[in-house]
Amino acid sequence: MLVLRSIPQSAEAAECRTFMADTPRSPTKPSASATKDEISRRGLSRSENASTPVTPPARYISSNFSTPGSTYGKEEDAIIIELSPRYLKAGIESESHPQCRYEFRPTNAKRLGDYRQWLPGYTAPKESPEKWGEGYELWRNDLKDFDLGLLGDKLERAVREVYNKNLLIDAGNARLVLVVPSVLPHPVLSTILQTLFERWAYSSITLLPTPAIALISAGLRSGLVVDVGWEETVVTAVYEYREVRTHRSTRAMRLLTKNFAAWAKTVLNPGHRLDLDTVESFLKRVGTRVLGEQSEETALSSSDQLQIEWPTETFTQPVTFSCGKIRENLTQTLFGKAQEVHPDDEEVPLHQLIYNALLLLPSDIRGICISRIVFIGEGSENTGIPAVVLKAFSELLERRGWTEVQGQKLRKKREGLSELAQARTQSTDARHDDFILSDKAIPEERYLREKAKHSQPPVHGAVRQVDTLGSWAGASLLTTLKVKSFVEIQRDKFVSHGLSGASRDFDMSVIPQQRMSTLGMRPKAGERTSWTLSGWA
């Protein structure tokens, strides 16, 4: 006999059953007369009364600084790429530093699965002195036997790797800001732009010069930019963001590493490895001690021997170098020999190069630029090079002064003029302290004179070095502020005409634009009849 007994229920279960009994149930099947709106409402009510939690749909929350729907038309952040003969820096605008740095090396061109360098008995191919560092550079100024097609392939591979491994974004229709040196051959510039426009769908490419952008990241409007690069050292005088004068010399990092490798070959054994990576690593570690400003303690030990572990094909061996010999080799490369009074125009020493650039400037621009000297490039990473260059330049300035003519007869004239120069050392404000404002002076004039009396005057005429955050950081700041550059190349115009479609704009002021707006000829927004290469023309 089967006996059914009632199972005691908890208070929560009984309360839940009572709530469900009081709630009217919806029919299991919709009637024929029910409309689609009723069926949809019933389905919505069943989903709301379901026991499982349901995530509410995302909705737009407006704020005081945004309007509904403003996120749909937001412009994509621009991609900033800084190009140099030795490396590529890439990142997104509004960042303080680039996200990656891609260095051009011979091993970057190897195929997938090529592991020969890790096999026993493998020896790296040795570089000849004539072709020193060719596998480590993207382009060079001498295009006589240079393959521009290889330049495009190297650049395409580098940009693809940067996008896929570092930036992790799609190029899409974002703008591209390209930071390149102001001294760049036209075939190289044309190949770079053609590769980027053909491989990616960039709507436009903006060109920014390296010297002016480096000053922006230093918080300056004018200055003297010394770019100690790979193939050349370029000294550029910039006044109010405009390049005034440019001087170049072949005394740069390529010549420095080449001469040091030739000297180190006489010290090292045949089994020691002597390539560009090893030499550059050695100079970065030793350059600060050898070329930096020497204190009394360092000067006493300057003749000491330097022992360092030098790599071989399988391991390392200790090698002893003379600090005096290293310093002599590096200083001869950067400043020339002592008997070199009249060097060639292409081989001017670095301190003489800075002196020549400042000597040919007007006096007012010279006084501003000499107190705002900025070092950039690969040589600036070695902290010893900027210090020793400025020291040699200061000694040259004290010896020669600001005159192009040199000789013994000029010394007497300079001594006679030194007394007049001492009388002018007094500040302008101190010579005009007897000026008394009248009672009829307006309050604004009185306020400005009082403010100028207590304000700190800008540094003018003194040799001073200013640090910078780099050209990439300056380009990021400029792009974030939405400042329109003089050189903005549209895709369709470049594909149609190339560099030949650029026009030379001699008048870059706002006066022609005001003239056009006055005559009713103002162009439409975003429409440009032509584009100009500006400093690259």
| C-alpha atoms less than 13 angstroms from C-alpha of 390 in its C-beta half-sphere | 22
Whether 202 maps to a domain, the answer reads: yes
Burial class (CB in 10 A: 0-12, 13-18, 19+), 346: exposed
Q: Name residue, tokens 């792009």.
A: 479
pLDDT score for 444: 66
pLDDT score for 413: 66
- Out of 400, 421, 456, pick the residue that ends a domain: 400
Q: How many CB atoms lie within 10 A of CB 454?
A: 6
Q: Name residue, tokens 């975003």.
A: 526
pLDDT score for 435: 44
Residue 257 sits in the same domain as residue 358: yes
For residue 223, is it left (φ>0), alpha (ψ between -120 and 50) or beta? left
Residue 377 sits in the same domain as residue 487: no
Residue 299 sits in the same domain as residue 390: yes
Rounded Cα–Cα distance for residues 453 and 456 (Å): 8
Q: Distances in Å between the alpha carbon of 203 and those of 71, 79, 207, 491, 523? A: 21, 12, 14, 6, 20
Residue 88 sits in the same domain as residue 205: yes
Contact present, 238 and 213 (Cβ < 8 Å) = no
Residue 316 sits in the same domain as residue 208: no
Q: 224 is written with which tokens?
A: 């003297």
- Considering its fold, how many domains does the chain have in total? 2
Rounded Cα–Cα distance for residues 283 and 251 (Å): 16
Q: For 222-262, list the strands marked E by DSSP.
A: 223-228, 233-239, 242-249
Whether 491 maps to a domain, the answer reads: yes
Residue 257 sits in the same domain as residue 372: yes
Whether 344 maps to a domain, the answer reads: yes
- Out of 342, 372, 400, pick the residue that ends a domain: 400
Residue 201 sits in the same domain as residue 154: yes
Residue 205 sits in the same domain as residue 336: no
Rounded Cα–Cα distance for residues 319 and 311 (Å): 10
Give the type of residue at 343.
Answer: P
Q: Distances in Å between the alpha carbon of 332 and those of 108, 142, 259, 327, 329? A: 34, 24, 10, 8, 5
Give the type of residue at 384.
Answer: G
Whether 409 maps to a domain, the answer reads: no
Residue 205 sits in the same domain as residue 319: no
Residue 103 sits in the same domain as residue 208: yes
Q: 256 is written with which tokens?
A: 């420095």
DSSP codes joined into one string, 352-416: HHHHHHHHTS-HHHHHHHHT-EEEESTGGGSTHHHHHHHHHHHHHHHHH-S-S---STHHHHHHH
Rounded Cα–Cα distance for residues 147 and 153 (Å): 10
Q: Give the H or E element holding residue 305.
A: strand 305-311
**Which residues span the domain enclosing 490?**
79-218+468-523+530-536
- Out of 400, 420, 440, pick the residue that ends a domain: 400
Contact present, 383 and 284 (Cβ < 8 Å) = no
Whether 50 maps to a domain, the answer reads: no
Cβ neighbors of 90 (< 8 A, separation 6 or more) are 79, 80, 81, 82, 98, 99, 100, 102, 159, 162, 166, 167
Rounded Cα–Cα distance for residues 532 and 537 (Å): 8
Residue 211 sits in the same domain as residue 261: no
Domain at 176, CATH number: 3.30.420.40
Contact present, 167 and 198 (Cβ < 8 Å) = no
Rounded Cα–Cα distance for residues 103 and 534 (Å): 28
DSSP codes joined into one string, 488-535: EEEHHHHHHHGGGGB---S--SSHHHHHHHHTT-PPPTT--S-B--GG
Closest of 167, 184, 281, 177 to residue 231, by C-alpha: 184
Rounded Cα–Cα distance for residues 438 and 265 (Å): 78
Residue 346 sits in the same domain as residue 389: yes
Q: 176 is written with which tokens?
A: 């591209």
Whether 229 maps to a domain, the answer reads: no
From first to last of its 537 residues, the chain has per-residue pLDDT tens of 444 444 444 444 444 444 344 444 444 444 444 444 444 444 434 444 445 555 444 433 333 344 444 444 456 789 999 999 999 999 999 899 999 999 999 888 777 788 887 887 777 777 777 788 888 999 999 898 899 999 999 999 999 999 999 998 887 667 899 999 988 999 999 999 999 999 998 888 999 999 999 999 999 999 999 999 999 999 999 999 999 999 999 999 999 999 999 999 888 888 888 889 889 988 888 877 777 544 334 443 545 788 888 988 778 889 888 888 888 888 888 888 654 666 777 889 999 999 999 999 999 999 999 999 999 998 888 768 898 899 999 999 988 888 877 666 666 666 666 656 555 554 544 444 444 445 555 676 667 777 766 666 777 888 999 999 999 999 999 999 988 787 888 888 888 888 877 765 544 444 444 444 444 444 444 444 566 787 776
Tell me phi and psi for residue 226, to 5 degrees. Answer: -110, 105
Q: Give the H or E element holding residue 159.
A: helix 148-161
Q: How many CB atoms lie within 10 A of CB 439?
A: 4
Rounded Cα–Cα distance for residues 193 and 489 (Å): 9
Whether 296 maps to a domain, the answer reads: yes
Q: Distances in Å between the alpha carbon of 440 and those of 445, 446, 450, 496? A: 10, 10, 16, 66
Whether 54 maps to a domain, the answer reads: no
